[in-house]
Chain A
Amino acid sequence: MKPSRFNYYAVDSIDAAISLIAQQGEDARFLAGGQSLVPMMNFRVAAPTALIDLNGVPELSNVRIDNDGALHIGAMARTRQLETDPEIAEANPLIAVAAAYVAHTQIRNRGTIGGSLAHADPAAELPGIALVCDAEIHLRGLSGARVIEAAKFFDGVFTTALADGELIEKLYFPPWPEQRCWAFQEISRREGDFALVGIAAWFDMDASGAISDCRLAAIGAGDTPLLLDSPAQTLTGSVPSDALFEKAAETVAGDIAPFDDIHASADYRREVAAVLVARTLKTAWERRR
């Protein structure tokens, strides 16, 4: 379990990173927390010829909250910071709660939000959160900068819309209304393991007491994190109740495409996704202020 030979470069700016990776060719990789990439290298599942280390690029770790409450999180922000930083929790409580489900403290100390999104494990928490929050992903490449919605970023298992040599610079999370009801729940084999299946949800209420807007996303339920449109449609315009949540849960099967693996069958993931939809919505509703 030793990686094959590679060159290592430390850079201190985004510009240096993207020009160096272009020079190094398609077998070069950015190194963030290394918590996914390095194990893959040790197994020789990945054999990059060069690593461009982003850990010395200060601008990638910036976290900023706008006056309107919008949240900007630099790609190199550590999962542990997302979990523990009170300002982030204030700006978007769903991020903090979900981050605590990622692996273990030691791994969260190193792993980054950018790395998690770029790695695109379909059972990873942070991609699901980016999706459910309508986050925008800011990318930089030799050909310039672009912004892509989370909903368009994930292409498949471990594949994304990132072009060769393109870098995630930061994530933008739109403002979070104070009255929003939200929750995240997942089932995993052990604490800290990737989710067998997990659900993130939020909804806003209108003056009449009906749900005016909502999003639900599932992780571990398909090749990518998935937005759950059917339950969202069931919820929108209705008054929250356990019965409504159960009804919404029943519609989830059509929105997901889970797979079998050694830890759980597709059948398990399908039925537990529905269970978690109902439970997540209930928890969200109980949290209303």
Chain B
Amino acid sequence: MTRTYIGKPVTRLEDRRLLTGAGNYIDDVKLPGISTMAILRSPYAHARIQSIDLESARAMEGVIDAFCAADLDAQLPVIPLRLAPFDGFERFLQRPIAVDKVRYVGEPVAVVIAEDRYVAEDALELIEVEFDQLPTISTIEQAAAGNTLIHEAAGENMGTRYTVARGNARAAFDDAAYTRRERFVTNRHGAVPMETRGLIAEFDPEAPLLRLHGATKVNFFNRRHLAAAFDLPETSVELIETDVGGGFGARGELYPEDYLVPIASRRTGGPVKWIEDRRENLTATNHSRDIVCELEIAATAEGEILGMRATVQGDMGAYIRTNGGVVPSKAAQFLPGPYRVPSFSCDVQFLVTNKTPVGTFRGPGRFEANFCRERMLDMMADDLGIDPAELRQRNLLTPRDLPYRIGELVPGDPDATLDRGNYPAALEHLLNECGYADWDPGAETGDGRVRGMGIACFIESSAAGPPESARITVFSNGGVEIRTGASSVGQGTETGLAQICAEFLDIDMNRIDVLHGSTTLVGIGGGTFHSRNTVMAGNATRTAAEALKDRATELAALRWNCDARDLAYDDGAVHQDSDRLTLQELAAFAETRGEMLSADALFDNEKKMSYSYGAHAAQIAIDIATGVVEVERYWLTEEIGRALNPAMVQGQAIGGVIQGLGGTFLDHFVYDEDGQLLTGSLADYLLPTTSELPDITAIALENSPSEFNPMGFKGAGEGGIVAVAGAVGNAVAQALKPYSVSINELPLTPDRLRKLLRGAGA
């Protein structure tokens, strides 16, 4: 009997539990004697703190403790850089609570611990803080001018700045028959997950033990830094995962609260809970995407790209947090995309402003880069009189070009290479699917609206190191457990790993429990980001399953007193002629020998990345008089090597598209010139809802398995989002072609579109 699970759209193991209200999210965790923490956050974008008076708050009934930076005697730790830690960033790191100065609206200023959240919020109102307001840096232009310094000791507001290049851009531009230059802006927005962040700390300095519930994403990195910050051995810090209602890259990084909640617990001697409310979430959790890109393209008259030149300026917010320079640096790296761009150079600038710090969000830098480049390609197609799809086909890297060295486009990163694939085929598939050849943009449809179709191509890297762990154990009750260092952020990791384990052990999937992430469950773990769980934890699970079969066979040989080479494994059991020993029986046998039937594996792809790739198409209708755009249909193809669970892959793609439509039309953190966030609730920060959904066709292609892992997986979590603004922007631009307006800035609001149209006399 051979059970097949890989490639099957099996129902998610998590769903019953989560959909019937049996999930265990951080706010569901109740501990005896727990108190609640609330944070007084800066109402100003930039101000010096003259004084903080906590007396009345402390005196209030129900308040257990209150503190601010001045109450914390030891030097406060800084939040470390985890990714893209470029030189210069060390001058802009954040401490968990404001010392002397606040630099963005929402920065923690003081903390109250009380018996419940109501009392805690009442007490926050009693805290008296004297602020001396300072001039605010609310734009990258002001940041660059540097008339006001946000971090005085740094001497500038430029976090860092570098240039990356390949080929000879100057020569390419000098000789080109065609060049064009455009300025693109992508709107500051972010993950805004349904479940806000939350943490519970239990800090016992005597044990010593710091247990932090609500952890996710990169627990082992976070443990190392928390241990250092609190001067504990790493083994005294436990990071415990709960269910997660959306991560999208923002949850699970180290934030100020990851230090403040443990401090609160240490001070009060009991467990302390902090649940981020939505108002906090919108200023306290990382923002993303906020870049301005000056892009130039050079090409032959036939539309063959000769080079690209760019300046990418990222608005980093007030501090550089764990994600370092990922957003602008990846925007720069992905600007050339899936195309043959022999010469490229990019000046990348990281500007510090009085806004919430920036971090990664699903497809960091890629969403931005794809918007800029794909819009530029459509403009060039227009200028040269070439069909946009044809222009792309002329420039996409072909299977013969791959692997293709893209060079060292991020300082400190290894020289990157695009692995094998067939980019033109993925575009071709999309064009057939969306009926591109038959599309008539000028067609009258009778409802007074104008229609457009736009396409965009993308590549998306996934699963860069570090290694990932998996351990499979079979118990004498028949249960099978997988433990992995990867986290689950709601994407179905439990199901995916159980599918792999069940297939390789040839057992019923329902026997399998998947435990993930917590530092108490596994010895090491790489974590969850960069669309890596299926690739890394998936392959680790497979290796562990193979090792477990070997171990089971050895045990059976011992039991039968025979040579293991004469035994066969099938149907969850080891066989010798007509005799069989099931995994369960072998687990029992192992227990009698004082051991467990268990196997460990670590999967290391040695940082060799595979690139998913594909193309998006959007069909839109716009009401010229009101600027209201409806996305009528959406298609995408995404080559992911191999689909572990097509239903979950489909869900990732569709969810990604929807989130991308939000970023294209709605999601926007709007600040005024005083650095006040004007979109401080979900009434003003607009997320896409089910009312706005187009008909989405998501096609996963499995024609080009990854060479860098035995199962051939490529990441499938971000391809749905990364090209949405590009495709939609092109569709809107096509519809508005008669008006010659430039669709260079997101989000595409009715107001913005009307302003452009009004300028064009429409």
Binding site for B on A (CB under 8 A): 1-5, 39, 43-44, 187, 189-193, 196, 262-265, 267-268, 271-272, 275-276
Q: Which residues of A contact B209 (CB under 8 A)?
A: none
Count how many chain B residues have C-beta atoms less than 8 Å from C-beta atoms of the other chain: 30
Closest A-chain residue to B687, C-beta based? A190
User: Are the C-beta atoms of B691 and A2 separated by less than 8 Å?
Assistant: no
Question: Contact: B122 with A187, CB < 8 Å?
Answer: no
Least Cβ–Cβ distance between A124 and chain B, in angstroms: 13
When C-beta atoms are compared, the residue in chain A nearest to B121 turns out to be: A2
Asked whether, in the complex, the Cβ of A2 is within 8 Å of the Cβ of B118, the reply is: yes
Q: A1-B279, A2-B121, A43-B681 are in contact. Are A268 and B692 (CB under 8 A)?
A: no
17 A–B pairs (Cβ distance < 8 Å), ordered by A: A2-B117, A3-B118, A189-B749, A190-B666, A190-B691, A190-B692, A191-B691, A191-B692, A192-B691, A193-B683, A193-B686, A196-B751, A263-B749, A264-B750, A271-B754, A272-B626, A272-B750
Contacts of A264 in B (CB 8 A): 749-751
Beta-carbon contact of B666 and A267 below 8 Å: no
**Who on chain A is nearest to B118 by CB?**
A2
Task: Determine which of B121, B678, B758 lies in contact with A271 in the assembled complex, contact meaning CB atoms within 8 Å.
Answer: B758
Task: Using A271-B758, A275-B626 as known contacts, say yes or no to A262 and B670 having CB atoms under 8 A apart.
Answer: yes
Across the interface, do B122 and A5 meet the contact criterion of CB distance under 8 Å? yes
Bits for B673-705, please: 1 = Cβ < 8 Å to A, else 0. Answer: 000001101011010110110000000000000
With known contacts A1-B278, A262-B670, A264-B751, A190–B686 Cβ distance under 8 A: yes
CB under 8 Å from chain A, chain B span 580-632: 625-628
Question: Is B444 an interface residue, CB under 8 A from the partner?
Answer: no
A43 touches B279 (CB 8 A): yes
Which A-B residue pairs are the 5 nearest by beta carbons? A191-B691, A1-B277, A264-B751, A275-B625, A268-B751
Q: A2-B118, A2-B121, A196-B750 are in contact. List 17 more A-B contacts (CB 8 A).
A: A1-B279, A3-B118, A5-B122, A187-B750, A189-B686, A190-B686, A190-B688, A190-B691, A191-B689, A192-B691, A193-B683, A193-B686, A264-B749, A264-B751, A268-B750, A271-B758, A272-B754
Pick from B279, B681, B689, B751: contact of A190, CB under 8 Å: B689
Please, how many angstroms separate the alpha-carbon atoms of A192 and B666 in the complex?
Answer: 14
Say yes or no for B17: interface residue by CB 8 A criterion. Answer: no
Which residues of chain A are within 8 angstroms of B692 by Cβ–Cβ distance?
190-191
B689 touches A268 (CB 8 A): no
Give bound CA distance, A272 to B750, whole Å.
Answer: 10
Task: Write the chain A residue with the least CB distance to B122.
Answer: A4
CA distance A196 to B752 in the complex (A): 14
Which residue of B628, B666, B758 contacts A187 across the interface (Cβ within 8 Å)? B628
Say yes or no: A187-B626 contact (C-beta < 8 A), given A268-B751, A268-B755.
yes
Bound together, the chains give a CA A43 to CA B683 distance in angstroms of 12
Complex contact A267–B755 (CB within 8 A): yes
Return A96 CB to nearest CB of chain B, in Å. 19
Judged by a CB distance under 8 angstroms, whether B125 is at the interface is: yes
Residue of A nearest to B627 (CB): A268
Assembled-state Cα–Cα distance A24/B148 (Å): 50
B residues 696-751 near A (Cβ < 8 Å) are 749-751
- Chain B residues whose C-beta falls within 8 Å of the C-beta of A263 in the assembled complex: 684, 749, 751
Residue interface mask B111-142, A partner, CB < 8 A = 1: 00000011001100100000000000000000
A81 and B683 alpha carbons, distance in the complex (Å): 24
B447 to chain A minimum Cβ distance, whole angstroms, is: 12
In the complex, what residue of chain A is closest to B684 when comparing beta carbons? Answer: A262
Contacts of A39 in B (CB 8 A): 683
Give Cα A191–Cα B687 distance, bound, in whole angstroms. Answer: 11
With the chains together, A262 CA to B747 CA distance in Å?
12
* C-alpha gap A271/B625 in the complex (Å): 8
CB distance from B669 to the nearest CB of A (A): 10
Residue from A39, A262, A271, A276 whose CB has the most chain B CB atoms within 10 Å: A262
Cβ–Cβ < 8 Å partners of B125 in chain A: 4, 44
Taken together as a complex, chains A and B put the C-alpha atoms of A43 and B277 apart, in Å, by 11
Asked if A268 contacts B691 (CB within 8 A), the reply is no
Q: How far is the CA of A190 from the CA of B751 in the complex (A)?
A: 13
Smallest CB separation, B161 vs chain A (Å): 31
Please indicate the chain B residues that have their CB under 8 angstroms from the CB of A43 in the complex: 279, 681
CB-nearest residue of chain B relative to A275?
Answer: B625
Taken together as a complex, chains A and B put the C-alpha atoms of A193 and B755 apart, in Å, by 21
Residues of chain A within 8 A (CB-CB) of B670 are: 262
For residue B626, which residues in chain A have a CB less than 8 angstroms away from its CB? 187, 272, 275-276
Closest B residue to A265 by CB, please name it: B751
Interface residues in B486-505 (C-beta closer than 8 Å to A): none
Q: Which residue of A lies closest to B279 (CB)?
A: A1
